[in-house]
Chains A and B, each alone.
Chain A
């Protein structure tokens, strides 16, 4: 079993749609959680950290469920520019950072 698992997709959605991604992790001692975005042939870029209380940044909402060990990302009012791969990232208290393989999103006009 992978330490961080994501549905690879692809998710194909029309502009304006709401789309949700989930991610599960296996290490209950994980302490920090993030979502990254990666465009084709580019480097990953930090989208947002994920807090236990849930957090929102514009159209993006991230939530963490420690009991069930999953993280979610909700994108509202999808834009064409949201098309990318979204990486779920989990970190322990030290240097160990585990990246999910990513979920691909295509937003269509």
Chain B
């Protein structure tokens, strides 16, 4: 258990409204990630963070922004939600395993539906 929680776990929102998803971790991990998962695509990286206020874009960052003002919280914002952003969103942290490799661990996910 990597001590990751996500909120809300489910959300239905209307097109054009702003939405913020929260990822919270309790183990002081430096690296945090936001992914979306859609059928047939696997998980795709939206944004990641390598420290407080240090973030960068992933492969599907358009329409999303992130913020990390504290080590434990990584927020994902959809400025104006669209139906194409209906998806399952997973937050992840990475930590160095016994092999020396960085391994990713995921939160429980947020199911977002944009109507």
Q: Which A residues are within 8 Å of any B CB, using their own CB?
A: 4, 8, 32, 34, 42-46, 49, 51, 87, 89, 91, 95-102
Contact = CB atoms under 8 A, between A and B. Distances in A.
Which 4 interchain pairs have the tightest Cβ spacing? A43-B106, A99-B42, A99-B43, A101-B42
Interface string B59-98: 0000000000000000000000000000000100000010
By secondary structure, the B interface counts as strand
16 contacts: A32-B101, A42-B109, A43-B90, A43-B106, A43-B107, A43-B109, A46-B103, A87-B42, A89-B104, A95-B31, A95-B45, A96-B45, A99-B42, A101-B40, A101-B42, A102-B42
By secondary structure, the A interface counts as strand
Interface residues of B, number: 24
